[in-house]
Amino acid sequence: MATEKTVTPTEEQLEILEYNFCKVNKHPDPTTLCLIAAETGLSEEQTLKWFKQRLAEWRKSEGLPSECGSVRD
C-alpha cells in the first residue's frame, strides 16, 4: 500500500497560495492552477488539495455548506 507524502507549504508558498485564493480566484481553472503550482514549486495535485482544504475552511467561516450545491445539513 503506497502512502502519500504530506508536504507542508513554506511561508513563501503559503503567501502565494493565499494571495491567489483571496485576490484572484477561489476556484482556479486548470491553467491557473498549473501556473500557481509552477510559481509555488508544488505539484498541481498538492496545489489543488490546498485550494480544496482552504475553500472548505472559508465556507465554514462564512457559515456556508461545506460543498457547493449540497443538500446535506
Q: What is the pLDDT of residue 72?
A: 43
Per the CATH hierarchy, to which homologous superfamily does domain 11-56 belong? Homeodomain-like (1.10.10.60)
Q: What is the pTM of this model?
A: 0.77
**What are the sequence ranges of the domains in the chain?**
11-56
Asked if residues 39 and 33 have their Cβ atoms less than 8 Å apart, the reply is no
Q: Alpha-carbon distance 66 to 59, whole Å?
A: 6
Q: What is the pLDDT of residue 71?
A: 42
User: How big is the CA angle at 26 (ends 16 and 69), to the nearest 5 degrees?
Assistant: 155
Q: What is the pLDDT of residue 73?
A: 35
Mean pLDDT, contiguous 10-residue spans, the chain (73 residues): 70 96 92 96 96 93 70 40
